[in-house]
Amino acid sequence: MDVKEILNHCDHTLLKQESTWAQIKEICDDGRKYECASVCIPASYVRQAAEYVGNDLKICTVIGFPNGYSTTAVKVFETEDAIRNGADEIDMVINIGWVKDQKWDDLLTEIKAVKESCQGRILKVIVETCLLTEEEKIKMCEIITASGADYIKTSTGFSTGGATREDVSLFAKHVGPGVKIKAAGGISSLKDAEDFLALGADRLGTSRIVKLVKGQQGEGY
């Protein structure tokens, strides 16, 4: 697969707690240069980043991140605030305790509420696969399909594991036709990226692929 095509599927990500504006600005510059799908950044930088990039790059941020156990009302407020500040895409974390308690209706209601708050913008739903059983993953495919969300996303990158080829393959078998897949967490090579896309992922959440390409191709890209 062409490197440029891989980069077009990347949500170039910086979500470390100590992230500074200088670092966010750099990934925005790289996101534009390498024509990434978006940059995924902390909510506190959304307005500044949106003003900085204008219409040149999509701005994504995270909601209920990374633990997912905020109340639905808080997640809705976070989403509305992010949209007002200029976010183009929203990545929300589900309440994983509700999965364990089999509160399927509550999960569906919450995702629908956040999706409505997105006002037509893309919503990706993070299920944190490393904490779920296979049966729970399949059930979340069903719920996310029913919710009207745009993507199911594997991981926050802040838990015990990231994206696996097995999970992306499982999602590809069980999501509805309107739902895309985002693999995130631990994608550290172009081979990883190519594999995930071949298995059915449409987006890659990664902090490393752009850095890798910069290192290989330098400023001559």
| Burial class of residue 92 in the structure, from the number of CB atoms within 10 Å of its CB (0-12 exposed, 13-18 middle, 19+ buried) | buried
| Dist. CA 36–CA 136, nearest whole Å | 31
Is 33 part of the annotated catalytic residue set?
no
Q: Give residue 148's Cα distance to chain centre.
A: 16
Tell me if residue 153 is catalytic. Answer: yes
Q: At 115, which helix (H) or strand (E)?
A: helix 104-117
The β-bridge relationship of strands 180-184 and 122-126 is unpaired
Distance CA 61, CA 44 (A): 9
Contact 58, 32 (CB under 8 A): no
Catalytic residue among 11, 91, 150, 167: 91
> Are 73 and 108 within 8 A, CB to CB?
no
Catalytic site includes residue 182 = yes
* Selection from 34, 93, 32, 86 nearest residue 62 by Cα: 93
* Residue in 61, 56, 50, 47 with CA at minimum distance from that of residue 15: 61
Catalytic, out of 115, 153, 180, 192: 153
Cα gap 15→20, rounded to integer Å: 10
Catalytic residue among 115, 124, 137, 182: 182
- The residues assigned a catalytic role are 91, 153, 182
